[in-house]
Amino acid sequence: MQQDDAPKGPDLAGGVELAQFSDGKLLGHVGDEEVLLVQSGDDIFAVGAHCTHYHGPLADGLVVGNSIRCPWHHACFDLRTGEATRAPAFDPIARFKVEQRDGKVFVGDKVAPCPIRPRSLKETPEKIVIVGGGAAGFAAAEMLRREQFAGEIVMLSSEAEAPVDRPNLSKDYLAGSAQADWIPLRSGDFYRDLKIDLRLGVEADSIDVAGQAVVLKDGARLAYDRLLLATGAEPNRLPVPGADRPNVHVLRTLADSNAIIASAKDARRAVVIGASFIGLEAAASLRARDIEVHVVGPEKIPMERVLGPEMGRCVRALHEEHGVIFHLEEGVSAINERGVVLKSGEVIAADLIVSGIGVKPRLTLAEKAGLTIDRGVVVDRTLQTSAPGIYAAGDIARWPDRHSGENIRVEHWVVAERQGQVVARNMLGAREVFDAVPFFWSQHYDIPINYVGHAEKWDEIVVHGEIMAHDCLLEYKLNGKTLAVASIFRDADSLKAAAAMEEGRAPV
Ligand SMILES: Cc1cc2nc3c(=O)[nH]c(=O)nc-3n(C[C@H](O)[C@H](O)[C@H](O)COP(=O)(O)OP(=O)(O)OC[C@H]3O[C@@H](n4cnc5c(N)ncnc54)[C@H](O)[C@@H]3O)c2cc1C
Ligand code: FES
């Protein structure tokens, strides 16, 4: 074993004293495996030290009751069972035997995975149809089986591939640093073994609400007892001449990301249209491929609308340090064989063009079905639409958010997955309220931005730390109340902010 790979901390099999714990945790190892000891009340748990999402260090996580939360993207694990109770992780963490004797704690062998008891199986629908093979659809199907739902699950996806790790498509995968086999959320065996009838390249055309059936494009009917609509969002297309040229790409699916990668192989210069999350993540990934990157956007400061001017300037500086050239307060009037024609008349030559100018929720099915729509599919606190038995989750759902007191719709991966998980339990009768604090992350080069809460507008931003030093936490306040918190490399504070908001306390 290389020195760098050596497991950290003391040998837990040889015993450690409680005094060695810091903040209720102690990182050590058993053999080659890193193990985390966690004290919660009178109990001491020994669990695998890494999150099963992207391997985040649970030693830096937050213990809340009998659970531990990952510092990177806030997945949550039950310390008693190891279960990943909240997305974005789905697999459990390992558990180990713990013994206390002679004032010391000893860690023994790994414990077999805990069988999960169904918690919400109060109703027994026979057929569940999920329209959408993305974050919310996948999480719902997975949770239905975890809850030991034994009936039929049909999941329709208009995409050609089984559910993928969509956030990665603009980050490591596009940059060329993620393996292709990291991208599917699960292998094909998973769907077969769990009897999830995943139908790829199949589009739902309409819903017969009275007859409880989904009608497919080819006219076939799929009966359901419960239905989840998780149709996500589609990229806005550039409304200019030349937007359909073959070197102009959007980025939503694995196929889109693969098409950009294929074009990038021979490209020397790329123009990214749109200076928000997808556009700038794509810009960073294309710079990692050593392509000259120009970013065009109408705003004065990138990401100002969501993160405010200070953080926006920091993001701009970060990209400029990596060689990105910005053309802000600019628009595109056409795309032609010479490149991208700006409204100012300037032409930026480009082999590769990526358009990231926002998305719109895919509402057609819900609209045709007569469901209540208000800039999204309106759902109640249990994520049920205006039609009993039909739920909506993810990018299309507008739900009553307890934390902001408003009906909100967001486009966040973790929110979509957690909504899918809640819908699964509610389809089985749990009547659980969706009250998770919204969370998203974005990654630019090696700088992650974490965001907790939801602030569409604010009248004050309080900055803690140094934004330009990439060590900061920003509070977005309206009328004195902190609605959201954005942070860079303040993972512990971000976790604490989310936990406080859950309990109705001030996040900072
Ligand atoms: C490149 C990229 C990077 C991102 N990065 C981040 C990030 O870092 N952090 C973050 O929080 N969020 C990120 N997001 C946003 C996040 O991916 C979305 O919020 C999330 O995927 C929404 O999940 P969803 O289930 O609602 O929709 P989706 O994941 O889009 O899934 C919708 C599914 O429905 C299918 N579908 C639609 N209509 C039909 C129909 N009629 N019949 C059958 N199937 C249909 C689609 O084919 C698709 O499979 C990113 C998005 C993209 C595109
Ligand atoms: S690495 Fe733990 S939630 Fe992502």
Provide mean pLDDT across the span 270-276: 97
Q: Cβ(408)–Cβ(454) under 8 Å?
A: yes
Distances in whole angstroms, Cα of residue 247 to Cα of each of 286, 340, 358, 464: 15, 11, 19, 43
Q: Are strands 226-229 and 127-131 parallel, antiparallel or unpaired?
A: parallel
Residue nearest to atom 4 of ligand 2 (CA): 73
Which domains are assigned to the chain?
Answer: 12-111 (2.102.10.10), 127-234+360-428 (3.50.50.60), 238-357 (3.50.50.60), 446-503 (3.30.390.30)
* Dist. CA 356–CA 333, nearest whole Å: 16
At residue 2, does pLDDT exceed 80? no
Distance 34 CA to ligand 2 centre (A): 17
Distance 254 CA to ligand 2 centre (A): 21
Whether residue 169 has its Cβ less than 6 Å from ligand 1: yes
Atom of ligand 1 nearest to the CA of 163: 49
Largest CA distance in the chain: 79
Residue nearest to atom 3 of ligand 2 (CA): 73
Q: Which ligand is nearest to the CA of 75?
A: 2
Q: Which ligand is nearest to the CA of 412?
A: 1
Q: In what order do the strands lie in the sheet with 352-355?
A: 248-249, 352-355, 269-273, 292-297, 325-328
Distance 56 CA to ligand 1 centre (A): 23
Query: Residue 4: pLDDT band by 50, 70, 90 thresholds?
Result: low
Distance 110 CA to ligand 2 centre (A): 22
In three-state form (DSSP H/G/I as H, E/B as E, the rest C), the secondary structure along 447-458 is EEEEEEECCCCC
What whole-number percentage of the chain has pLDDT above 70?
Answer: 98
Whether residue 276 has its Cβ less than 6 Å from ligand 1: no
Q: Cβ(490)–Cβ(472) under 8 Å?
A: yes
Atom of ligand 1 nearest to the CA of 205: 41
pLDDT tens-digit readout, 121-162: 778 899 999 999 999 999 999 999 999 999 999 999 999 999
Take residue 427 and report the two structure tokens written for it.
């389809």
* Residues at CB less than 6 angstroms from ligand 2: 51, 53-54, 56, 70, 72-73, 75, 88-89
pLDDT tens-digit readout, 443-499: 999 999 999 999 999 999 999 999 999 999 999 999 999 999 999 999 999 999 999
Q: Which ligand is nearest to the CA of 137?
A: 1
Question: In this structure, which amino acid lies at residue 199?
Answer: R
Atom of ligand 2 nearest to the CA of 75: 3
At residue 240, does pLDDT exceed 60? yes
Whether residue 166 has its Cβ less than 6 Å from ligand 1: yes
Whether residue 444 has its Cβ less than 6 Å from ligand 1: no
Provide mean pLDDT across the span 27-31: 96
Whether residue 71 has its Cβ less than 6 Å from ligand 1: no
Backbone angles phi, psi at 16, to 5 degrees: -135, 160
Atom of ligand 1 nearest to the CA of 235: 53
Q: Cβ(50)–Cβ(35) under 8 Å?
A: no
Q: By C-alpha distance, which of 449, 432, 336, 427 is closest to 381?
A: 432
Q: Are strands 481-488 and 471-478 parallel, antiparallel or unpaired?
A: antiparallel
Reduced to 3 states, what is the DSSP secondary structure of residue 397? strand
In three-state form (DSSP H/G/I as H, E/B as E, the rest C), the secondary structure along 237-296 is CCCCCCCCCCCEECCCCHHHHHHHHHHHCCCCEEEEECCCHHHHHHHHHHHHCCCEEEEE
Provide mean pLDDT across the span 29-57: 95
Distances in whole angstroms, Cα of residue 344 to Cα of each of 327, 341, 410: 10, 8, 33
Provide mean pLDDT across the span 46-65: 97
Atom of ligand 1 nearest to the CA of 138: 25
At residue 3, does pLDDT exceed 60? no
Distance 104 CA to ligand 1 centre (A): 49
Whether pTM > 0.90 for this model: the answer is: yes
Whether residue 172 has its Cβ less than 6 Å from ligand 1: no
* Dist. CA 164–CA 183, nearest whole Å: 5
Residue nearest to atom 20 of ligand 1 (CA): 413
Distance 242 CA to ligand 2 centre (A): 40
Distance 176 CA to ligand 2 centre (A): 20
